[in-house]
């Protein structure tokens, strides 16, 4: 295979992965059902409801650690802030940005 074909294949694969990551991030931001809210930072490892906030995965039960601010579970509206470490989406995004700056 020529270098040009390899480069083209790499670019296409990268674009595909980027598209999947954006779709996963969009799923993470999808609206919660009425009377419910997404609560970040309280899911136990392997017990998250769906994709991570950073788009690292789009699967339920894929959280690697307890209390990861990028992972969420659906809870009744108003419950999240009563849970230790519970954050709504905007708070979780702010924490992610702070973690990135600290590194």
pLDDT tens, residue by residue, 16-61: 665 655 555 445 456 788 999 999 999 999 999 999 999 999 999 9
Domain ranges for the chain, please list them. Answer: 3-102
Predicted confidence (pLDDT) at residue 13 exceeds the cutoff of 70: no
* Residue 78 to residue 94: CA distance in whole angstroms: 20
39: helix, coil or strand?
A: strand
Between the alpha carbon of residue 72 and those of residues 21, 46, 50, the distances in Å are 17, 11, 7
pTM above 0.85, yes or no: no
């Amino acid at each position: 295979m020529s270098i040009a074909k390899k480069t083209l294949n790499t670019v296409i694969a990268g674009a595909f992965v980027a598209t999947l990551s954006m779709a996963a991030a969009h799923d993470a931001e999808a609206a919660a059902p009425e009377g419910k809210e997404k609560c970040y930072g309280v899911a136990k490892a392997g017990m998250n409801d769906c994709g991570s906030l950073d788009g690292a995965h789009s699967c339920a039960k894929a959280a690697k650690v307890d209390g990861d601010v990028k992972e969420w579970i659906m809870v009744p509206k108003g419950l999240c802030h009563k849970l230790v470490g519970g954050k709504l989406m905007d708070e979780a995004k702010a924490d992610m940005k702070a973690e990135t700056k600290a590194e």
